């Protein structure tokens, strides 16, 4: 809003007025409050206003909206310094168009007025605008620095954009602010450069700044030092340029070069450039690592110089082809290293003969020796596997989820009489015996449910119609892309099955023979028991009955008859006890082998017919199972009975010892003996041998007439458990 000047305007004299009209520049006089008190007549031509239209109004009514802040800052500074030079801003013409003005002025404290001159700055402003645009495009800025005051007297607009600062928010760019923006790592170096100011010096430096938003930028500074008439450095004019993109590009290029250099020196591939005549123009450093040659040893040599004689034709043909093709892959072929060893390589060649930067054929070779050896080994292994499958005794098949054949090994012909093509796609159960189909189906179902399956024995129909026994075991590979089915390994067990059936029959015959022998032994035992009861116990009891009846009837009154009857009765009791011990199974679980044999011998020695001597040596104490304990007891019991009945021996010796993880039993007597070559073994000896066989033992009888009898038995023992 326009305001009225509180004081009257100045009125110049006629001569002064004429002079002012002849000057193209406009003279303004301002009060401290910013009101215009005088305007020269030239304002009509420059701004379109008559002086009377501007006098009494504030200069802010005419200043361009975007320049009000900087104009106020300029006015505030001039009220303190007194003199103003080269200040530019924009005023609105009367028609509303903006006009760039260049101001100079002086503050008169005595008049309390500010005298200014304004001239048309449009041409200079346009040039400056173009310069500013050029600086912005080049990421450049200019500045001026007063060495005496230590202040920036001018910085271009692009200076602020490079440093990431909003110009409107700044009073003026300061030296302190500059040092805050310089990167801490570069600050000392830049400060040293700033202190080393020489008259007339032109110098440059590169450093980094950190913008307020945290971005790091690279700056190139170029400066020139101006001197006064006395040769003293008073002013610095300079330019700065944001070179971040250049630095980034240089770093990227450097990294690429370093990476390329590293690959050339340490990569898995060997690089080289071949001239049009087939000789090496360049060889990468890593050829030393892979082949043992220094690059200079190969430069100038023919590319075929190291190729194996058998591969020369292939390499030479590739060399001829690459002259007309852009890219060619060759190999693998063999080249010689510096030790004389042949290494397999694969090579890619690229034709760059027309590229002026290369003018050659670029080759990239990779050592594939280990890969080639693995492939050769795999190929050999596959050939061996195929030969084994073709000629092996096992049949290998693959079944799909519907149990149909998808693969059969070639030996199906020799094993089952079929060609593989005859069975492919057919259900496996068409060839399995109907009695075996349930168990085969159960195992297949178990495999499809991802559980372990056991081997199954079944019959498979031969092409001739006969049934062949197979033992098959499969594994689920439905999710294996190489198989996609159930892999089955089948083995012909026809001969084994027949042998097993024969052994089963023989085992049955043997078991029946043993059972018959046991029954005969039992009958024999019963017969002997009947004879003993009849011949011994029955006769003694008859005598006792007779003595008792004679005493009761009074026929005999001597009490000595009763004493004899009592003695005979005790003899019967002893005889019955002996028979009972021989027939009953002793309770062996709670007593040791030595204790059970000792008790047996003690009871036998009561009869005082033959004296039995016992010797037991079981150190270290072995592990004796209850079954082995009973077997030893019965063999000793049977031997003792035979000695008492048939040997007529005065003494017999029973020896048991532990030696070399075996239990050794020996029973010998000094009785009559017999000829083992002419006398068939009785049931008692057969029973003893059978018992020894049941415990995987060895049994032997030695005897001759008049020299007594020796029985030996040996039994393997279980390993004693260890502790710790």
| 29, pLDDT greater than 60 | yes
> What's the pLDDT tens digit per position in 55-83?
999 999 999 998 888 888 777 776 555 66
| 9, pLDDT greater than 60 | no
Question: What is the structure's pLDDT at 72?
Answer: 85
Band (531; pLDDT cuts 50, 70, 90): low
Band (386; pLDDT cuts 50, 70, 90): confident
Band (467; pLDDT cuts 50, 70, 90): very high
Determine if the peptide bond prior to 620 is cis (ω within 30°): yes
Do 708 and 600 fall within a single domain?
yes
Do 184 and 287 fall within a single domain?
no
Is residue 436 in some structural domain?
Answer: yes
Q: Are 227 and 199 in contact (CB under 8 A)?
A: yes
Is residue 367 in some structural domain?
Answer: yes
306: left (phi over 0), alpha (psi -120 to 50) or beta: alpha
Domain boundary among 492, 523, 556: 492
Task: Name the more confident of 689 and 157.
Answer: 689
Band (680; pLDDT cuts 50, 70, 90): low
Question: What is the structure's pLDDT at 215?
Answer: 92
Question: What is the structure's pLDDT at 112?
Answer: 87
Is residue 257 in some structural domain?
Answer: no
Run of H or E including 637: helix 626-642
Greatest Cα pair distance, the chain, in angstroms, is 208
> What's the pLDDT tens digit per position in 623-669?
888 888 888 988 998 898 888 888 889 999 999 999 988 999 999 99
Do 56 and 116 fall within a single domain?
yes
Band (337; pLDDT cuts 50, 70, 90): very high
Least confident segment among 173-187, 256-270, 333-347, 702-716? 256-270
Task: Name the more confident of 558 and 84.
Answer: 558
Do 136 and 245 fall within a single domain?
yes
Question: What is the structure's pLDDT at 1?
Answer: 35
Do 414 and 435 fall within a single domain?
yes
| 86, pLDDT greater than 50 | yes
What does the alpha-carbon distance between residue 670 and residue 149 come to, in Å, rounded to a whole number?
143
Domain boundary among 249, 277, 305: 249
Do 87 and 24 fall within a single domain?
yes
Q: Order of strands across the sheet with 216-227?
A: 151-155, 140-146, 233-242, 216-227, 202-210
> What's the pLDDT tens digit per position in 592-602?
888 888 888 88
Question: What is the structure's pLDDT at 169?
Answer: 46
Do 142 and 176 fall within a single domain?
yes
Question: What is the structure's pLDDT at 3?
Answer: 44
Task: Name the more confident of 150 and 558.
Answer: 150
Band (96; pLDDT cuts 50, 70, 90): very high
CATH number at residue 663: 3.30.565.10
Question: Could you tell me what percent of the chain has a pLDDT over 90?
Answer: 27
Secondary structure of residue 642 in the 3-state scheme: helix
Band (13; pLDDT cuts 50, 70, 90): low
Do 524 and 476 fall within a single domain?
no
Determine if the peptide bond prior to 51 is cis (ω within 30°): no
Secondary structure of residue 364 in the 3-state scheme: strand
Question: What is the structure's pLDDT at 720?
Answer: 54
Is residue 158 in some structural domain?
Answer: yes
| 603, pLDDT greater than 90 | no
H helical segments located in 340-409: 369-391
Question: What is the structure's pLDDT at 289?
Answer: 85
Is residue 412 in some structural domain?
Answer: yes
Run of H or E including 350: strand 342-352
| Segment 616-626 mean pLDDT | 86
Is residue 1 in some structural domain?
Answer: no
Enclosing domain of residue 406: 392-492
| Segment 544-571 mean pLDDT | 79
Is residue 260 in some structural domain?
Answer: no
> Distances in Å between the alpha carbon of 422 and those of 355, 405, 417, 475?
63, 10, 10, 24
Query: How many Cβ atoms from other residues are within 10 Å of residue 224's Cβ?
Result: 13
Question: What is the structure's pLDDT at 702?
Answer: 93
CATH number at residue 468: 3.30.450.20
Question: What is the structure's pLDDT at 667?
Answer: 95
Question: What is the structure's pLDDT at 84?
Answer: 66
- Kindly report the pTM of this predicted structure: 0.36
Do 358 and 398 fall within a single domain?
no
Spell out where 478-631 has E strands.
485-492, 611-617
The 10 Å CB-count burial string (b at 16+, else e) for 12-30 is eeeeeeeebeeeeebbbbb
Is residue 385 in some structural domain?
Answer: no
| 209, pLDDT greater than 80 | yes
DSSP letter assigned to residue 211: -
DSSP letter assigned to residue 533: I
What does the alpha-carbon distance between residue 105 and residue 150 come to, in Å, rounded to a whole number?
23
Secondary structure of residue 722 in the 3-state scheme: coil
**Count: domains in the chain:** 6
| 589, pLDDT greater than 80 | no
Average pLDDT score over the chain: 83
> What's the pLDDT tens digit per position in 164-190?
888 764 467 888 889 999 999 999 999
Do 142 and 241 fall within a single domain?
yes
| 258, pLDDT greater than 90 | no
Do 158 and 39 fall within a single domain?
no
Domain boundary among 182, 217, 249: 249
> What's the pLDDT tens digit per position in 361-372?
888 898 899 998
| 587, pLDDT greater than 60 | no
| Segment 115-128 mean pLDDT | 80
| 723, pLDDT greater than 50 | no
Question: What is the structure's pLDDT at 11?
Answer: 57
Do 448 and 546 fall within a single domain?
no
Q: Are 701 and 681 in contact (CB under 8 A)?
A: yes
């Amino acid at each position: 809003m326009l305001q009225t000047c509180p004081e009257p305007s100045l009125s110049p004299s006629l001569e002064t007025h004429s002079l002012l009209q002849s000057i193209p520049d406009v003279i303004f006089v301002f009060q401290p409050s910013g009101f215009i008190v005088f305007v020269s007549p030239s304002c009509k031509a420059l701004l379109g206003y008559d002086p009377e239209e501007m006098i009494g109004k504030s200069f802010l009514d005419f200043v361009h909206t975007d320049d009000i802040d900087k104009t106020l800052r300029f006015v505030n500074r001039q009220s303190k310094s007194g003199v103003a030079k080269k200040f530019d801003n924009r005023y609105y013409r009367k028609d509303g168009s903006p006009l760039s003005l260049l101001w100079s002025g002086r503050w008169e404290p005595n008049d309390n007025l500010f005298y200014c001159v304004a001239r048309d700055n449009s041409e200079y402003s346009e040039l400056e605008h173009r310069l500013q645009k050029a600086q912005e495009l080049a990421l450049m800025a200019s500045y001026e620095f007063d060495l005496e005051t230590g202040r920036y007297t001018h910085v271009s607009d692009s200076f602020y954009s490079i440093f990431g600062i909003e110009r409107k928010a700044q009073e003026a760019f300061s030296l302190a602010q500059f040092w805050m923006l310089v990167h801490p790592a570069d600050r000392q170096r830049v400060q040293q450069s700033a202190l080393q100011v020489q008259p007339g010096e032109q110098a440059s430096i590169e450093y980094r700044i950190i913008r307020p938003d945290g971005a790091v930028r690279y700056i190139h500074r170029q400066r020139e030092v101006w001197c006064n008439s006395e040769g003293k450095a008073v002013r610095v004019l300079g330019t700065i340029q944001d070179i971040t993109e250049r630095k980034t590009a240089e770093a990227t290029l450097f990294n690429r070069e370093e990476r390329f250099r590293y690959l050339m020196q340490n990569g898995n591939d060997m690089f080289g450039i071949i001239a049009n005549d087939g000789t090496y123009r360049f060889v990468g450093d890593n050829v030393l690592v892979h082949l043992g040659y220094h690059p200079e040893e190969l430069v100038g040599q023919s590319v075929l110089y190291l190729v194996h004689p058998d591969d020369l034709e292939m390499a030479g043909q590739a060399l001829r082809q690459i002259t007309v093709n852009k890219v060619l892959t060759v190999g693998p072929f063999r080249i010689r290293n510096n030790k004389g060893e042949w290494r397999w390589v694969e090579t890619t060649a690229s034709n760059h003969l027309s590229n002026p930067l290369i003018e050659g054929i670029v080759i990239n070779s990779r050592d594939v020796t280990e890969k080639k050896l693995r492939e050769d080994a795999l190929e050999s292994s596959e050939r061996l596997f195929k030969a084994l499958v073709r000629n092996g005794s096992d049949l290998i098949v693959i079944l799909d989820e519907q149990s149909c054949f998808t693969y059969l090994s070639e030996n199906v012909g020799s094993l089952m009489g079929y060609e593989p093509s005859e069975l492919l796609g057919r259900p496996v159960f068409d060839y399995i015996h109907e009695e075996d189909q349930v168990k085969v189906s159960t195992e297949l179902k178990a495999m499809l449910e991802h559980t372990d399956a056991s081997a199954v024995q079944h019959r498979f129909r031969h092409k001739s119609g006969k049934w062949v026994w197979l033992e098959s075991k499969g594994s689920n590979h439905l999710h294996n892309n190489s198989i996609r089915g159930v892999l089955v390994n089948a083995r012909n067990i026809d001969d084994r099955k027949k042998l097993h059936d024969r052994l089963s029959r023989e085992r049955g015959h043997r078991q029946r023979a043993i059972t018959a022998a046991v029954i005969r032994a039992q009958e024999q035992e019963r017969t002997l028991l009947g004879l003993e009861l009849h011949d011994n116990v029955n006769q003694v009891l008859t005598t006792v009955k007779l003595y008792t009846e004679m005493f009761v009837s009074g026929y005999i009154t001597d009490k000595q008859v009763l004493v004899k009857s009592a003695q005979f009765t005790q003899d019967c009791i002893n005889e019955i006890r002996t028979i009972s011990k021989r027939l009953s199974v002793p309770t062996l679980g709670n007593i040791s082998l030595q204790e059970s044999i000792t008790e047996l011998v003690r009871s036998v020695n009561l009869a005082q017919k033959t004296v039995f001597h016992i010797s037991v040596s079981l150190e270290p104490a072995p592990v004796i199972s209850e079954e082995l304990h009973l077997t030893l007891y019965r063999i000793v019991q049977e031997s003792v009975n035979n000695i008492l009945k048939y040997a007529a021996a005065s003494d017999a010796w029973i020896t048991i010892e532990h030696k070399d993880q075996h239990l050794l039993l020996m029973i010998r007597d000094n009785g009559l003996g017999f000829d083992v070559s002419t006398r068939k073994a009785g049931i008692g000896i057969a029973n003893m041998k059978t018992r020894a066989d049941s415990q995987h033992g060895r049994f032997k009888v030695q005897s001759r007439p008049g020299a007594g009898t020796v029985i030996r038995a040996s039994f393997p023992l279980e390993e004693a458990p260890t502790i710790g």
